Amino acid sequence: MTASTPPEPAKRRALRHLRPADLKAAAQLAATATHGVIDLTETVHQSVRRRLGLSAGASPDRTGGLTGQVYQAVRGVTRLVTKGSDAALAAVLPLLGDPGAYPEASPQREAVLAALNGVLGDRLLAMGNPLAQGMELRANGLSLNLSTGALRAQLPQVGPHLLLLIHGLCMNDAQWCRNDHDHGSFLAPLLGATPVYLRYNSGLHTSVNGRELAQLLERLADGWPVPLERITVIGHSMGGLVARSAFDIAQKTGQRWPALLQDLVFLGTPQHGAPLERAGHGADWLLASNPFTAPFARLGKIRSAGITDLRHGHVQDADWQGRDRFASGADHRQPLPLPDGVRCFAVAATLAGQRSRLAERLTGDGLVPLDSALGRHDDPSLRLEVPRERQRTVFRTGHLDLLSSPVVAEQLKAWLTAPAPLA
């Protein structure tokens, strides 16, 4: 801020980080969490009573008699407090002004919302909580209106080549810019492409996001201000799974945009899952195996559908529908090959300083092992056949560093600017 620049009003600064509606959303989350703690406490209480041979109570999770009445009273008080806070907020929120007058949100607020949606996004949506993020296509930090006239105004330099970038779990479109580098803005002039970024609720099932993205891209293709000739997609982490899901759904439903997709790049995409989520499932199982710790297994079940999809890399409805996502650690995926007729590229990273099979299996980029990122699998039906010349492993690089690595940027440039081979 220069000496001639007036200071930003305190109210405007506050609303860049916190909107009035956030207060109501946070109160709803707090009430839900409080009820969850009460339920958990009573379940632990009941578990201990059963182990001591005392009265079983009303149910396996609920105590009976006077103890049960105490828990019900606590729940009643919590409901009264919640209603009271809702009434108070209803009276106060109108006094805080029109949130539409402060459209620009701070990067810090956007990052917190993205992380919250990654962890609880499916629950936020089910609760109708306003913190649940909707899917949108964005450019220059703003949401795109997909009508032809609006797109022409929002994308004045629009061309026939669309470059779509899809972020990963707990992230958003703004986080493609890391250490002052953005693969989108770097590649766009080299490719003569118009960069567009996807923002989505990464806590939803991958296939749910894939279906919505497929529909959104069809609308975008219909409204594109000039004849659309080519689409290039770059997906980081979960974003690569969402891209595969969207292509599969669009192709099966006869949409036209898949015919325009020429290049699909995966950056650290867990094609066959991530060990961290499998470890989370193992922790759930260990907690549930002991009567005293079994109630705490509920805590692990808070994590979103998007996170549990990363256990094995789900991309289709059939991978998860009809199953308890916390009940089995088995891989139930239906094989889905890479898109036919599309040049697919895979970049994997490892924290190791040199090639080591042990390091590749144990660490990878800190989140995704090399085999998963490169599509390799012991089962031939699940193996993704990325040609060796379209694979790249970068060393001393972490999962997020893939977004800013100069080595990765140059590799993307070399791949995507090279002419496609004649069919």
pLDDT of residue 419: 84
Rounded (5°) CA angle 145-169-30:
90
Give me the DSSP letters along 153-190.
Answer: HH-TT--SEEEEEE--TT--GGGG-BTTB-HHHHHHHH
Give residue 280's pLDDT band: very low, low, confident or very high (50, 70, 90).
Answer: very low
- What pLDDT, in 10s, does the model give residues 378-411? 999 999 999 999 999 999 999 999 999 999 999 9
Segment among 36-50, 76-90, 384-398 with least mean pLDDT: 36-50
User: Could you tell me the two tokens for 69?
Assistant: 């009445």
Q: Are 356 and 396 in contact (CB under 8 A)?
A: no
Q: Are 119 and 203 in contact (CB under 8 A)?
A: yes
Mean pLDDT, range 15-29, rounded to an integer: 60
How far is residue 79's CA from residue 331's CA, in Å, rounded to a whole number? 41
DSSP 212: H
Minimum mean pLDDT range among 60-69, 210-219, 264-273: 60-69
Look up residue 268 and give its amino acid: G
* CA dist., res. 151 & res. 102, Å (int): 23
The lowest-confidence range among 19-33, 72-86, 119-133, 174-188 is 72-86
pLDDT for 295: 42
d(CA 296, CA 172): 31
- Banded model confidence at residue 274, pLDDT cuts 50, 70, 90: confident
The distance in angstroms from the start CA to the end CA of the chain is: 56
Distance, CA of 306 to CA of 123 (rounded, Å): 11
Contact 308/206 with Cβ under 8 angstroms? Answer: no
The arithmetic mean of pLDDT across residues 76-88, rounded, is 55
Which DSSP letter does residue 5 get? S
- In the block, residue with structure tokens 């036209």: 256
- The span from the CA of 288 to the CA of 369, in Å, is 28
- pLDDT of 215 over the 50 cut: yes
- Running DSSP on this structure, what letter comes out for residue 334? P
Q: Are 388 and 382 in contact (CB under 8 A)?
A: no
In whole angstroms, how far apart are CA 54 and each of 63, 64, 292? 11, 11, 15
pLDDT at residue 329, as a whole number: 74
CA-to-CA separations, 392 to 312, 344, 384, 411, in angstroms, rounded: 22, 12, 15, 8
Q: Model confidence over 103-125: pLDDT tens digits?
A: 567 788 788 889 889 988 898 89
